[in-house]
Amino acid sequence: MSKLSRRKLLAFFGCSAAATVLAPTVERKLFGFNIGVAEAAQLPFTPVRLPHPLPIYRDQKNFLPTGIGSGSILNPTNDTRLGQYQVYDDVIVPPEYERYVLVSWGDRVFPNREDYFGYNCDFTGYVGSPTDGYLLVNHEYVGYPFAFLAPATAADLAPFPDAFTPVIGFSLPTAANVGALSPDDRRILFGESLYNVGMSIVRISRNNRRSRFAVVSGDPKNRRIHGLSGLAVNSQRGDAYQSVTSWGPRSYQQGDQNYLIGTGPAATEVFPLSSDGLGNKIIGTAFNCSGGVTPWGTILSAEENFQGSSTFYVGVTEGVKPDGTQTGYISGTTGAEFGQVGEKYGWMVEIDPGNPGFRPRKHSWLGRYRHENIAMRIQAGKKLVAYLGDDRRGGHTWKFVSSGIVSNPKNKANSRLFESGILYVAKFNPPSDPTRPEEGTGEWIPLLLDTPTNPNRPSVIASTAIAAGLTGSLARGRVVLPRRNGIAGQTTDGGFFNCETTNEDTALPGYQNKRLSDFYTSQGAILCDAFAAANLVGGTPTARPEDIEVNPRNPREVFIAYTDGAPGGDGYPDSRIFVVAKYTTNPTDTQQSGGLYKIIEDSADNTGTTFRWQRFAQGGEAGSEDGAGFANLDNLVFDNRGNVWGVTDMSTDLHNGFNVGPAGTPTTINHTGSGNVSSFVGVFGNNWMFYIPTSGPMAGETVPFAYGPPRCEMTGPTFIGDTLILSVQHPGEDCPYTPQQTLSRSIEMLNLDGSLFNQERSVPRGSNWPSNIEGNPGGPPKPAVIGIRRKRSNGQFV
C-alpha cells in the first residue's frame, strides 16, 4: 500500500517549514504516524470513536458514545476493530465540547410571525462582529418527512406521519400522488415547497466572546429570501401567469415585490428574450447549497439542483435553446406552476445580509450550472479571482477572472467586479509520469464565442475503466453536449445530447473543429448553458466538486473536495484523473469515494491559464489501497490557525448499510466485488466531521471530531471566534420518525491491515433529532443550525 511522508503531507497544506522541523523517520499509511506520549498530549480534544478503524485510534484515547450526552474513554490499541457499535440519534461531539441548537426549521423569528425558518439548512455565512451580526443560512431542497408528497417520496411511506403538520401547525394537501391533487391543492403544496428553500437571514448575538449565541427574534432585518420572492411581478405579464401571484391565503403566501435581478451578458442578451416577458426581473432563488462570504460583507449563495422533472418536481427546465432561453416548461414542475423560466435559475446569487435594501442579484459571468460553492482570492490592486464547482457527475471545475481591479477589499463597490470578466473551465491533463499518478498539469479554457470546440472522446475519458475490463454504464464515458439540428441525426435545437462510446464515431465530427459561436447566438447564451458549452471546448469532466477553498497560507493553492467518482446519467468523470469504480475483486483495491485535490496556479496572481494539480487523499476505508479513512468529502473550511476541517456527504440510502424507507433493507457490502461499490460507504456510519491540524506534533493526522444524527448531512461550517456554526441537514430523511425502530445488522469491514472482519451495528431507523433533546423523544426531526464550543471556553475553538 502507498506511503506518504509527513513532510509531503504538510507541504500539501502549505506548511513546508513545519514539515522540515517535524518530519518523522517512521511513516505510516496515509494520515497515520507513530506518536509518542508527549506528542499525543498536544491534541486539543478527545477524538470521537467512529465505527470504522482509523490509524489515530492506535495512538490516541478516544470517546465512545454510550448514549445521548454520555460516553466512555477508550485507550489506544493496536487492534482498532470494534465488534459492536451503537449509533445514537444526536450530534456527538468530544467530551470537552458542547453542542446547542441555535435555530431550526419552523422557528418563527421574523417580524411577520407567520414567516418561518426554512427547511434543509446547508451553507452558513456570517457578517458581523465576534458577538453580534447576521447569519445567512441556505435551504437546499425538501424531502420526506417534510411531507408525504415531497419529491421522490416512496409510496410505502404513506401510512406514516409527516413532520410539516406538527412543526408548522397546519397540514399540507395530500393524495395518493401529486397528479391526484386538485389545482388549488397542487399550488399550495408546490408553493410551500418553494417557500421552504432559498435563504433565511437572522441576527444572532451573545453577551461576550465566550457565551452562547442566540437568535434575536423579530429583528427588523431578519428575513426570508425564498423560491417565490417577488411573485407579485407576475401581474406585469401578458400570458396565462398574470394572475399567479400567491399560493395560499396566509400573509406570507401573498406575492411581494422582492424580486431578484441579473447582471452580465445573460441579463442583457438572454433575459430580454425570456418567455415570461419580465426582462431582468427574476422570481425567487431556490435550490441553494453552498456559497461564500466576501471581505466587503456580502454573501454569495449557490443555486444547485435546479433541474426539474416529473419525479423531482421542485425545479425548472435545465435545457436551453441556442439563444439561451429554456426549451419549454416541464409539465408537473414548480417552474410550470408559477411560470419560472429555466434560464433564470442555476446561478450564483449575491446578497447583503445587513442591508435589506440591496436587491439580490444573479451574476451571469459566473455561469449557469449546478453551483456548489465559491472561493475567492481578493487582493487590493489585483483582479478578483473566484473558483467554483459544478456538483454533478461529470461536472466541471471553474475559475472567473474579473475585468476590473479590486480597490479596498472592504469596499462594497467591489461587487461590480462580478459583472464583467471571463469564465474559464479547467482542463486536467492526465499524469505524464506513470510513477506519479497523483499529479499532472492543466489549463484554463475560456468560455467565449471564439473559443474552438474540441470535445473529449468518451472512449478516452473512460479508458482506465475499459482497460480494467468494466462494461456497461461504467465504460460508456458519457459526454453531455448541446443538441443541435443536423448534428448526429438530431432534428431539434436545444437541450442535451449524450455522446458515448457507442456513438462517438458518428456523433463527434459534427461537434469538432468549430467555435462556440457555431452553437450559441450570444455570450449570454453560452453562460446559460455553461456545462454543455464546457464539454464542447474540452473541459475535464470531474468527480462532483462540492467545495473549493483557497489556501490562506498560499493563495496560489486551491483545495478541491471531489465527492464521488462514480459515473451516472448526468455525466462521466475522466477516469485517467479520478477513480470511477473498484477495478478488481481484490478486497483492498482502491474505492471510488472521491478525494481531496489541489490546483497550484502557475501565475503569481492566479489570473494565468496554466496550473499543476495534485491528488492528496483518495476516499475509501483506511485499509484499502490509498484509502484516507473517509468517504464522500464535502465542505472544507480553514480555521483561524490554518487547520483544515471537513465534513462528509454520504448518500442517505447507504448510511450504516441500510436503505431508506420503513423496512430499512440492508444493502450489500461485498469487498470481493468490483465495479460500482458505492455501498461501501455504509461502513462509515453516519456523516461525520474531521479535523486535520497543519502545525504542531499532530500535523497531518485525520482527527474525528463529530458525527450527526441518522440519515443527516452536516454542512456549512463557519467559525466565529470560539464557536463553530454548523448545519444539520435532513435528519431522518426518507424514513419514518414514529414509531421509531432499531435496525441491526452485521457489516463487513476492512481492518487497517487489509483483512476483513464483521461488526454488529445497531442504528435508529430514522431520527427524532432535535425534538428528542428538547423534551419530545418521539417528535419530528427538524433540519437545524447548531453552535459547538468548548465547555470551558478560552476564546478559541481549538
At residue 230, φ and ψ (nearest 5 deg) are 85, 15
DSSP 8-class letter at 663: S
Give CA–CA dist 220/508, Å, rounded: 57
Q: What is the pLDDT of residues 576-598, one digit of tens each?
A: 999 999 999 999 999 999 999 99
Tell me which of 696 and 81 has the higher pLDDT.
Answer: 81
Q: What is the pLDDT of residues 604-645, one digit of tens each?
A: 999 999 999 999 889 999 999 989 999 999 999 999 888 899
Q: What is the pLDDT of residues 440-454, one digit of tens each?
A: 999 999 999 999 999
Q: What is the pLDDT of residues 262-305, one digit of tens each?
A: 999 999 999 999 999 999 999 999 999 999 999 999 999 999 99
pLDDT score at 477:
97
Q: What is the pLDDT of residues 333-364, one digit of tens each?
A: 999 999 999 999 999 999 999 999 999 999 99
Give CA–CA dist 336/161, Å, rounded: 29
Burial track 476-514 (b if 16+ CB lie within 10 A, e otherwise) = bbbbbbbbbeebbebeebbbbbbbbbeebeebbebbeee
C-alpha cell at 333: 414542475
pLDDT score at 659:
97
Mean pLDDT for the stretch of residues 692-697: 81
pLDDT score at 17:
39
Mean pLDDT for the stretch of residues 67-77: 96
Q: What is the pLDDT of residues 79-130, one digit of tens each?
A: 999 999 999 999 999 999 999 999 999 999 999 999 999 999 999 999 999 9
Q: What is the pLDDT of residues 705-754, one digit of tens each?
A: 999 999 999 999 999 999 999 999 999 999 999 999 999 999 999 999 99
| Number of residues assigned to the chain | 798
Mean pLDDT for the stretch of residues 460-488: 96
pLDDT score at 16:
44
- Residue from 446, 370, 443 nearest 401 by CA: 446
Mean pLDDT for the stretch of residues 165-176: 97
pLDDT score at 166:
98
Percent of the chain with pLDDT over 90: 91
**Taking a C-beta distance cutoff of 8 angstroms, is the pair 254, 235 a contact?**
no
pLDDT score at 23:
35
pLDDT score at 701:
80
Asked if residue 495 has pLDDT above 60, the reply is yes
φ/ψ region of 558 (left if φ > 0, alpha if ψ in -120 to 50, else beta) reads beta
C-alpha cell at 642: 490554518
Residue 7 confidence class, pLDDT cut points 50, 70, 90: low
Asked if residue 686 has pLDDT above 70, the reply is yes
**Taking a C-beta distance cutoff of 8 angstroms, is the pair 382, 405 a contact?**
yes
pLDDT score at 15:
59
At residue 290, φ and ψ (nearest 5 deg) are -95, -165
Q: What is the 3-state secondary structure (H, E, C) of 586-608?
A: CCCCCCCCCEEEEEEECCCCCCC
Residue 20 confidence class, pLDDT cut points 50, 70, 90: very low
Q: What is the pLDDT of residues 376-397, one digit of tens each?
A: 999 999 999 999 999 999 999 9
Mean pLDDT score of the chain? 94
Residue 3 confidence class, pLDDT cut points 50, 70, 90: very low
Give CA–CA dist 273/277, Å, rounded: 7
The kind and range of the H/E element at 516 are none
Residue 36 confidence class, pLDDT cut points 50, 70, 90: very low
pLDDT score at 11:
66
Q: What is the pLDDT of residues 178-205, one digit of tens each?
A: 999 999 999 999 999 999 999 999 999 9
